[in-house]
Chain A
Amino acid sequence: MSSIYGLYGAASHDSSTSLIVDGKIVHCVEEERVTRIKSGNNYFSIPEKSLESIEESFGLKIEDADHVVFSAFEPNRFINDKINRDYEVYDHHHCHAAGAYYTSGMGGKVLVITMDGGGVDNAFTIYLAEDGEMNRVHSDKWSSSGQISQVWGYSLHGIHGANENGEFIWKMCKDEGKLMGMAPDGEFDETIYKFLKQICDYNNLEFYPIDTMGRTRFVAEQMRRNGWFDTPQKIANFANTLQYYTEELFLKFLSDVHTRYPQYSKIAFAGGLFANVKLNQKVNQLDWVDEMYVYPAMGDNGLSLGAAILKCRELGEGFQTPQSFKNVYFGLKYNNGEIYDMSKKWGLKAKPYIPSQIGRALNEGQIIGWFRDGFEYGPRALGARSILVRPTDISTHKELNERLKRYDTMPFAPMVLADYFDDIFVETKSKYTAEFMTLCYDTKDEWVNKIPAVIQKSDKTARPQIVRKDKLPKVWEVINEYYKLSGIPVVLNTSFNAHNEPIINSPDEAFVHLKNGIIDQLVIEDYVYFR
């Protein structure tokens, strides 16, 4: 059995490092979590600090690992300066596909589809998979085709333009979610739709014309100059139309894929496009889709693990068939001793963690910082670095945004006890994917007013995380304690970070937020900290 370091990041966004030892995932660390620079604020990162953090945590230097693999491109300067050993390189989209399929847990025939703004040679690929084998059957040629993801990314640059330092105010690979969150509050606009179709259209497994980037940048900038983004409502209208356009084009694409491969009714997805949870909902609602899965680290941050999985398979040491994640807590962890030592300088008090006390605090409306285990892999907080609040007050959205100094328009998301999921949400396929908060669901009418803080008002959807007792026992337990008091098997879960910072990594970063009054109490492992 061997040790395998997987890495991604050739002066690009979303670098990361992963480590698999003896067929088991040990760590997956995104660069932004350790550098504290949001990935969308740095398009030139290399996986330097994420590698160092794993080397220190696990005690294995990269030069001593049995295998080192990159997802293309490999960062040559980093290799020359830091690594100085043999390594292998796997194709970008092949790593996306591997991350999706081999963690999907799906048996039988599976379609594996990747789609993003572009990686080396392709922006999308289609694989047919069965019994652990994946075969690529179709792909575009990135240099000569269009890309939906780039319409999103480069529209962002155009909407607010740049500040006096030349920095875009809304950024690609960072603020797409903001725009998506505004869509339900906007109205479809036929003229905007026409503009979008001019940028990129679709027919028969081909997106065209080429140069989506140049066309989007020009169109978005001219729209801004001509007043199309002058008010929040106008931006919402653009968002609504862009979402409609994205769903239309992608669902046509998916329909064409289904026509070619009708025996495949399970789909695994990866690539930045599938951070679009509304799009994912539309896919999940298709009659012919039995089940879908979105790789939790769906963007380029997921490539390092994808590469390591491919090597692991080659060696016959694991992932020979698709596995399921128990959770994605592959980040850095801290023991009680380390945490206590860090806490001393903040002048905070501590008491042992008792779930029922935190359940009561939630019921009283307190804002609870929740820090456990290794941090999550992927863009979502899933109960390792979360902020928990009761979901019953509509005013929570405003209060939480003020405390976190966030000005997002996206609603907050619910964590739901698994046993009650079907009671609350309408279409309940693909529950494994819902454990990673990558799908929206329609909410049943009787629940909309019970949990208003986590429901999108305009379309009554939510982006839930299903919490299972066997997989996330500690998270399940605290929600259950809240449920016993309130009768609501749901808590609001938002990521543990303030505005413009990545989700927190270390206890120190959590203590800062407690000290500054962003949260009322802080649960870290076996203790509760308070001011």
Chain B
Amino acid sequence: MFTLDKYTFDITFRNGVEITMGGKENDPVLIQIFEYLGNESTPRIASSFNMISGEYQTYKRNWYGKYEVNISKWDNELGLVHLKKITYDERNQNVLFVLDPLDDMDFKVWSDVIDKLYKEREFIPTIKYKHESFDENLYYRIYRVGRHSKDQWGNQSGWPGFIWQTWRKFWTWDNPRDWSTLTPIEIINDIVGITENQPNGIRFVVDPYYL
């Protein structure tokens, strides 16, 4: 948690982006969530919204994104005033992988990926099985690797297959692509961001029924 101007903010990247705002004032702020893709130097806008004190907002994603949260306020003479930028940075942070393997092969493939990933991205990995309990607050980021049914958070948005204003179509907030068509290594690569952040990464495409 930190204090900024007349507000307090608690911003975590544990399950994507989660923001809690406090403070005594009622003036709203503008929250913009950007995402950097691959080696692009200009980020893409993932979501933006107004927040006021007492609110909690999320941009929940089970899969990797290099996020940046911008906070701005309004000044009636100066206009839009930028207050702070918070960037996702998992280096030297505790990152939890909650695995839900079907069999030993799943576990082996996924463990191998995690073993390689933490060395490259310099985070501190922990692996647990889905049935194990854990304290979420101990972790900077949590990835739930498995074949998830839809509506994991029971929070299906109006656009579960396509987010307005972003470049990406995806299957659910848990798995970017339909896992029934994927191999074990493809499932984890999607979730930890390897697939999309390759030089010619797949831009996830789905076929949402309601569009």
A residues touching B (Cβ–Cβ < 8 Å)?
Answer: 10-11, 73, 75-77, 80, 118, 121, 141-144, 191, 194-195, 198-199, 210-211, 213-215, 217-219, 221-222, 226
Contact = CB atoms under 8 A, between A and B. Distances in A.
A142 B42 CA distance: 12
Given A210-B45, A213-B48, A218 B211 contact: no
B165 interface: yes
B77 A77 contact: no
B11 interface: no
A199 B48 CA distance: 13
Contacts of A73: 162, 211
A218 B48 CA distance: 10
Contacts of A222: 28, 74, 76
A219 B80 contact: yes
Contact of A11 (B32, B74, B167, B210): B210
Contacts of B34: 210-211
Contact of B50 (A191, A213, A217): A217
B207 interface: yes
B199 interface: no
Contacts of A213: 48, 165
A15 to B, nearest CB: 12
B50 A198 contact: no
12 contacts: A77-B209, A118-B165, A121-B167, A142-B167, A143-B44, A143-B165, A198-B80, A214-B45, A215-B32, A218-B30, A221-B50, A226-B76
A11 B28 contact: no
B32 A214 contact: yes
B87 interface: no
A419 to B, nearest CB: 49
B154 interface: no
Nearest to A73: B211
Contacts of B44: 143-144, 210
Q: Is the interface of A mostly helix, strand, loop or mixed?
A: helix
A194 B48 contact: no
Contacts of A226: 74, 76
Contacts of A191: 77, 79
B161 to A, nearest CB: 9
A221 B166 CA distance: 23
Nearest to B31: A214
Contacts of B162: 73
A77 B211 CA distance: 5
Given A144-B43, A210-B45, A215-B30, A10 B211 contact: yes
Interface in B32-89: 32, 34, 40, 42-45, 48-50, 72, 74, 76-77, 79-80
Contacts of B166: 143
Contacts of B79: 191, 194-195, 198, 219
B30 A143 contact: no
B49 A214 contact: yes
A76 B30 contact: no
B77 A218 contact: no
A218 B74 contact: yes
A171 to B, nearest CB: 16
Q: Chain A CB within 10 Å — which of B49, B167, B211 has the most?
A: B211
Interface string B1-35: 00000000000000000000000000010101010
A143 B28 contact: no
Contacts of A10: 211
A141 B165 CA distance: 12
A210 B166 CA distance: 11
A396 B197 CA distance: 62
Contacts of B77: 191
A143 B211 contact: no
B76 A144 contact: no
A89 to B, nearest CB: 12
A198 B79 CA distance: 8
B211 A11 contact: yes
A218 B80 CA distance: 9
A75 B74 contact: no
B208 interface: yes
A157 to B, nearest CB: 12
Contacts of A11: 210-211
A11 B80 CA distance: 33
A11 B160 CA distance: 14
B9 to A, nearest CB: 17
Q: Chain A CB within 10 Å — which of B72, B79, B209 has the most?
A: B79
A269 to B, nearest CB: 24
A47 to B, nearest CB: 13
Contacts of A218: 28, 30, 48, 50, 72, 74, 80
Contacts of B49: 214
A279 B96 CA distance: 55
B43 A210 contact: yes
Contact of A143 (B50, B74, B167, B207): B167
Contacts of A214: 30, 32, 45, 48-49
A144 B40 contact: yes
A475 B80 CA distance: 51
Contact of A195 (B30, B42, B80): B80
Contacts of A144: 40, 42-45
A191 B75 CA distance: 12
Contacts of A221: 28, 50
Nearest to A211: B45
A360 to B, nearest CB: 54
A141 B210 CA distance: 26
A16 B162 CA distance: 21
Contacts of B50: 217-218, 221
A143 B74 CA distance: 24
Nearest to B161: A76
Contacts of B210: 11, 77
